[in-house]
Amino acid sequence: MNLPDNPQPVSLTLTALSGIPLVRPGDDLVALILQSLKQTKMILMEGDILVIAQKIISKSEGRYVRIAEVTPSEQAYSLAESTEKDPQIVELITLESREIVRHRTGVIVAENRQGVVLANAGIDHSNVETDGNAEQVLLLPVDPDASAANIRKELHQKTKVNVAVIINDSLGRAWRNGTIGTALGVSGLPSLLDLRGQPDLFGKPLRVTEEAIADEFSSAASLLQGQAAEGRPIVLIRGYSFSAPPTLASSLIRPKEKDLFR
């Protein structure tokens, strides 16, 4: 086994940006990011990665729905009865989904419009303010990859610095308990790093190894973002170098025909 001589320590730094206010429809997220960087006493550097919570993307894009304005279909009523869920919420889940993958009492797992398999098609009640007295829910961005690309482009226009942008959310997994930060949108980063053919420590070529880089960053950032009232939706990651070409978050989705859990 040939180990490198005097291997150098490696490190990453993760910093949760401060001073992000409650985001509302139409808010300029890039302006908020730049303001927060100034307040955090940081400047963007080449190769930085910004991980942004999906919730503030959806809020800025106005992805709210008033529950009282939703009219359930017969299909929604039927599914709501078998799952003991609100028919109006079930209607939204079906509208935001390509397919209902699994369901049982209290649980609906769906393949959403982007092909991501997750609970309730990503429709969220938590940390969503009411509109007057009207209860609202928040939908996922229409195109998270495009949202990430737009933010990255505008940041470059205003700072002349190339950064990567990840939009993350907390998703459950078929084979593990608990949620974990997961990339829904990516721009400027190789979301999936193909290591097949590279040698291991003993010189044997790797045969199946693909590393979900964007998901790993999403999960690490989620530790700082929190899940409740922390108010830290943006994390800056510094110190990771990559040369592989960028790919979208959609490259992380396993094709249905290869998904053994489907």
Sequence spans of domains, the chain: 13-62+141-257, 64-137
**179 contact partners, CB below 8 Å, separation of at least 6:** 170, 171, 172, 227
| Chosen CATH of 64-137 out of 3.90.1300.10, 1.20.1250.20, 3.40.47.10, 3.90.1660.10 | 3.90.1660.10
Query: Which CATH architecture describes the domain 13-62+141-257?
Result: 2-Layer Sandwich (3.30)
Give the model's confidence band at 76: pLDDT under 50 very low, under 70 low, under 90 confident, else very high. very high
The per-residue pLDDT for range 119-131, each reduced to its tens digit, is 999 998 777 777 7
Please list the residues that pair with 194 across neighbouring strands. 210
Is the pLDDT confidence value at 220 over 70? Answer: yes
Q: Is 168 exposed, middle or buried (0-12, 13-18, 19+ CB in 10 A)?
A: buried
Give the model's confidence band at 256: pLDDT under 50 very low, under 70 low, under 90 confident, else very high. confident
Q: Are strands 49-53 and 164-173 parallel, antiparallel or unpaired?
A: parallel
Give the model's confidence band at 29: pLDDT under 50 very low, under 70 low, under 90 confident, else very high. very high
